Amino acid sequence: MNLFSSKNNTISGNTVYNNTYGIFLDSSDNNTVSGNNATNNINAGIYLTSSNNNTVLGNNATNNDYGIWLKISNNNNTVSGNNASNNSQYGIQLYFSDNNTVLGNNATNNQYCGIGIFPDSDNNTVSGNNASNNGQYGIQSYSSNYNTFTGNNASNNDRYGIGLGGSNNTVSGNNAHHNTEAGIEMSGSNNTATGNNASNNDEYGIVLGG
């Protein structure tokens, strides 16, 4: 299912599986993608590129390479209330994309990472998500600045709960416990970590470097 240069559409209640991409938005703005089942696709269950002001809400994006992937120049989108689990790479990834909101999603049991924000993905808000039981990171961000990570559960991951690189990012009120290496790992400059629970990790609670 592909939208190209298309606006103000609603894609809802579809089942899309065994494709390269389940749902693909290219240069398409102000659309709503909701309540779809996007599974077993080769690349991504839901994929946006050069698309702005869209809402991706309440979808099931599982058993793909990427569950939900915003790749290159996707701005001011909202990704909320989705189940992005059991994918072979990332549950949700923002790549060269700014000013997006990732809110209240379930991004668990992905082989690499629950939620990824990188590179040059700035001014995004990642809040209230469950990013636990992933193969490497719960939440991973690098070479990205002015992002806010708040109120997420990033626990029981095989490396880090939250791995962060970049500058002027805020990490607050997150649960990052029972991870194999560290709860929160931060590198870069002018980052802030406040009010997080980073207990009962195998090695470190909070690690600062770089």
Residue spans per domain, the chain: 107-210
pLDDT of the residue at 120: 97
CA pair distance 58, 102, nearest whole angstrom: 12
- The answer, yes or no, to whether residue 4 has pLDDT greater than 70, is yes
Q: Are 80 and 59 in contact (CB under 8 A)?
A: no
Mean pLDDT of 191-198: 98
pLDDT of the residue at 209: 81
* Residue closest to 39 by CA, chosen among 65, 58, 78, 5: 65
Express each pLDDT in 78-125 by its tens digit: 999 999 999 999 999 999 999 999 999 999 999 999 999 999 999 999
Q: How many residues does the chain have?
A: 210
Three-state DSSP at 46 gives strand
Question: pLDDT grade, residue 67 (50/70/90)?
Answer: very high
Question: pLDDT grade, residue 177 (50/70/90)?
Answer: very high
- The answer, yes or no, to whether residue 210 has pLDDT greater than 60, is no
CB atoms within 10 A of CB 192: 11
pLDDT, mean over the chain: 98
Q: What percent of the chain has pLDDT over 70?
A: 100
Question: pLDDT grade, residue 205 (50/70/90)?
Answer: very high
Sheet strand arrangement including 113-117: 2-4, 21-26, 44-49, 66-71, 90-95, 113-117, 137-141, 160-167, 182-189, 204-209
Express each pLDDT in 135-169 by its tens digit: 999 999 999 999 999 999 999 999 999 999 999 99
Position 42, amino acid: I
Q: What is the pTM of this model?
A: 0.98
- The answer, yes or no, to whether residue 42 has pLDDT greater than 80, is yes
